[in-house]
Structures are given as structure tokens and as C-alpha cells.
A and B are shown apart, each in its own frame.
Chain A
Amino acid sequence: MSKPVVILTMFLIAAMCAPTSAQTHSLAFKDKVYNPGLLKPRDSELKVKVGHRAPDFTLPSLTGKKISLHQYLNKKNVVISFVPAAWTPVCSDQWPGYNIAKDLFDMYDAVLLGITVDNIPTLYAWTREMGRLWFPVLSDFWPHGKVASLFGVLRSDGMAERAIFVIDKKGVIRYIDVHNINTRPHLEALINQLQKLHN
């Protein structure tokens, strides 16, 4: 095989092997979504474990109210969905799915708390494009990423991981999914965990 053919072959193989980040992109966000490209799948170290008590926190929500984890103790199972950043492709196509699944959360006596490290005005503008969200959206903007850091899901670039924590009514962590930041976790993985908790 000649040298140019070898080089061309290697380039083609590299191109085919290159990781991709397949995703959909809803027209709902028009052309406002910024694509950060393919990111390091995971860039943090967990500070909590399944079976541990979840660290308590209080964060401001979009409604102006402050939400604390402890207010759900002995009342509701809690799902925390950290997403990396507003106005990015995968995040913009994650919470709208949860937004039509309230019945499923209700079925398993669970509430959902959506958290990003963005500030309230940014979250306000972004979530308005999703329609009316039934779950609280919390801002972990200041001190920047404090809650994400408590759980060990704050990345070195200041964004949160795409992570899901399921916490039972006793405040104990029952499920952790620090997902590849470039892909969206499928709904059934979360719902299966809620179902286990319920049984």
C-alpha cells in the first residue's frame, strides 16, 4: 500500500471512530441554544454515596421562594436533577421530558428539583421556552456551585455534571447517576428507581 493511501485510510478510520454526541434539538428554543461541542464525559468526584444521608441545602427558586431539602423529610421522595447549563442542547431537551411526566413522579410519591449553576434571570428566560414547569427550578449560582460541590458534581469549568440523585423520605440517597454530560439519561432508568423505592 502506498504512503498516501495509508495516510488517507488512517484519517478515514479516525473520522469514523470519532465520538459523536447525537442529540435532538427542539425548535422550541429557536436558534438560541449554544452548542459547547463534545465535553469530557465526567469531570468531578462524588462526595456522597448510595446509603448515605443526603447533605441538606437551601437554594433560591424561580418563584422567589427558597427551597430546602429538609422540607421534604418524611413527606416525599426527592429526585434532584442537576444539569450543566442553561441554553445548551442536551439540557434543553431533558427537563421538558420530565415536565410531561408529573403523573409518574406523583405515582411514586416523588418531587423533582431541577438545579443548575446559572443565575435566576438566565434560568427564568430559558425555562420559559419549555412551557410551564411543574417542578421547582433552583439556582446554585451563588456561592457558585456550592450545592453541586456538596454532592461532588461540580466540574472544573464551573458547570454541574448531568447528574440524578434519588433521595428517599428519610433523606437517604438511594440512587446516583452521574451521566455522561454529552448524553441525556433515559426516563425509564429514573422511573425504575422510583418504582423500587415505592415497592
Chain B
Amino acid sequence: MKPRIITIVAVISIFLFAPMNYGATRPAPEVGRPLAAFKLPAPTIPAERQYLGLSSTGPFTISQVQAPVVIIEIFSMYCPYCQREAPRLNDLYKKIESSPQYKNKIKILGIGAGNTPFEVNFFKKKFKVPFPLLPDKNFAVHKCLGEVRTPYFIVVSNSSSGVPKVIFSKLGKIKDLDKFLETITNKSTK
């Protein structure tokens, strides 16, 4: 094939593909499947690194979180639904931390899709969020997780194999917090 034709094919291809979003190469997390591999920036607050059981300030994976079960909330500072849900998520954290059954067994963190550290910290301060919220400025993690809408909840169990397994995956409000905790606890032991 002549180089000129190859160039034409490439240019036409770019125009053909441009309207499509090839960032969304991964599907939304499915229950029973391994969680897509991604790294998150460690919290800047030492107490939050301690909460997650992280020994270093470098990027970490969910499998490094020192808990059998990890709840991940995909949110955005700009999402009105996430803003409305923020106080309930704080309640969820309090329920976990005040319960001998759940404390140290379930950890929770939020990932701000498309949010900078400034935006995530602003949201955290605004809604007095007690658990770690981590920025995903360039949507890198969001793309790994199938570019889900917000808020989205993923719960994984950290198995001994080192690959977290998805045990819960849901868009939108968690209606009954107690039932949710019971459900994910049961699923994590199966």
C-alpha cells in the first residue's frame, strides 16, 4: 500500500472515530468479576492513610486497603445527587465505625470523577465528609470503571489472591443503610 493511501486511511479513520468515545472501553463493574486495576493517590491527611492502612504516601491500589471489604463511591463535586446523598454517606461511615461488627472490616472511600484535589477537598469540607475522598482529575479511574454515572457504589471484597472481587455494584441511592451493610457482609463471606 502506498504511503499516501495509508495516510488518507488514517486521517479518514480519525474523523470516523472522533464522535465515539473510545475511553469507555471497560464495562461498569459487574458483581462476581474482579475489579479493574487502577491506582489512586494516597490521602494527603495522615489520619486518612492510617484509616485505609496505607504505609506510604504513594499511589495505592484497592487491594492495599487494610480491610476485607471496601466501599467505593464514584461521585463528583458537581453532581447534585451526590451533594444530596453526602450526609447519608456520612451516616453510613458513622454506622460502620460505631459498630464492632463492621469497624476495621469495612472501609469506605470516594473517588471524585473529573475532580481536582481542590474540588474534592472543597466537597469534603462543605459536607464534612469524614472518610477519604480522592481526586480523579483526568477521569482515568472513571474510565476504568466504565464511565458510570454518579453517584455509583461499588463494593469489593479483598481476597487473599490480591485481586479485589466486586460483590455489589449499583447506580444511585442506597435506600436502607443497615440492610446494605448486612448484604455486603453476607456477600463478602461467600
Contact = CB atoms under 8 A, between A and B. Distances in A.
A10 B76 contact: no
A90 to B, nearest CB: 9
Interface string A41-67: 000000000000000000000000000
A92 B20 CA distance: 21
A38 B1 contact: no
B113 interface: yes
Interface stretch (A93-101, A112-120, A168-176): A93-101
Contact of B9 (A7, A17, A188): A7
Which 5 pairs, one residue from A and one from B, show the smallest C-beta to C-beta distance?
A14-B13, A22-B139, A97-B78, A26-B79, A18-B17
Contact of A24 (B19, B79, B118, B171): B79
B134 to A, nearest CB: 15
B114 A184 contact: yes
Contact of B79 (A3, A6, A28): A28
Listed residue (B21, B23, B76, B80) with the most chain A CB atoms within 10 angstroms of its CB: B80
A27 B23 contact: no
A188 B81 contact: no
B21 to A, nearest CB: 5
Interface size bracket, B side: 35 or more
Given A6-B1, A18-B18, A37-B19, A27 B142 contact: no
Listed residue (A10, A11, A104) with the most chain B CB atoms within 10 angstroms of its CB: A10
B45 interface: no
Interface in A142-176: none
A27 B151 contact: yes
Contacts of A26: 76, 78-82, 149-150
